[in-house]
Amino acid sequence: MWTVLAYLTVSVFSVSGTNNYCKMCSDHTMCIYKGVSERCGKLIKQGLDQSEKNSIVETHNMLRNKVALGEEKKGRPGPQPPAANMMKLSWDEELATIAQIWAEQCTYGHDLCRNSERFQVGQNIHIGSKSIYLPGNLTDNILSFYKEVDNFNRSNLDPFRFNDKSGHYSQLVWAETSLVGCGYIIFQENVWIKYMLVCNYGSAGNYEGASVYKVGRPGSECKWGTGQDKNYKGLCT
């Protein structure tokens, strides 16, 4: 059994000064949670190694590149048009740390506040369960976000209109998002083995009324200081 949860961005604020999460908001994940929650029961695995982090970034970029090149034929309706300004994603340790702390609460839902001093943070969550322990498949988890392209109406690219049946997809391909960091936990709850992946994105996507991406020739409208990536021809870096 697998379930996913996407986040709609509804407000913007900024904080200056030192990296004081409690000053950003009193219910910030880094402010109110310390360690693994008792709700997790028997802990089997927590955190991600470097190869898993690399795989998460690569999977995201492969999927973003596919869309940016205009190769995604699915949608409601499809196909999805090419993107002129989609950024290549890089791993971000701050986003990952915040995501890991939230994953370790073993609570299905979005945390109340996860923002950085640098930007507001978006979030996708995947949780699954099995009756026996098997190694988790992070690529499949991310593909579950992307599969929501089946429900994405290309007319909602600009201006963006949020749909809870395609919110994971729209965050995954949000053009101005350039950083990702994820947390991961496997735990046993009664007879079930639970797998939870939390991915945080900066800056956040899923802004109502904004643009998911600019439609056009791939890499033709990269933001100032960036250009077309050598390996992912559809992405800016």
Specify the pLDDT at position 134: 83
Band of residue 5 on the pLDDT scale cut at 50, 70, 90: low
pLDDT digits (tens, 9 = 90+) for 26-43: 999 999 999 999 999 999
Quick one: which of 141, 144, 184 has its CA closest to 49? 184
- What is the model's pTM? 0.91
pLDDT digits (tens, 9 = 90+) for 41-79: 999 999 999 999 999 999 999 999 999 999 999 999 999
CATH number attached to the domain at 2-7+22-202: 3.40.33.10
- Cα distance between residue 129 and residue 196, in whole Å: 9
| CB 233 within 8 Å of CB 70 | no
- Cα distance between residue 64 and residue 79, in whole Å: 14
For the chain, the structural domain boundaries read: 2-7+22-202
**What sign for the dihedral angle of Cα 159, 225, 124, 127?**
positive
Band of residue 9 on the pLDDT scale cut at 50, 70, 90: low
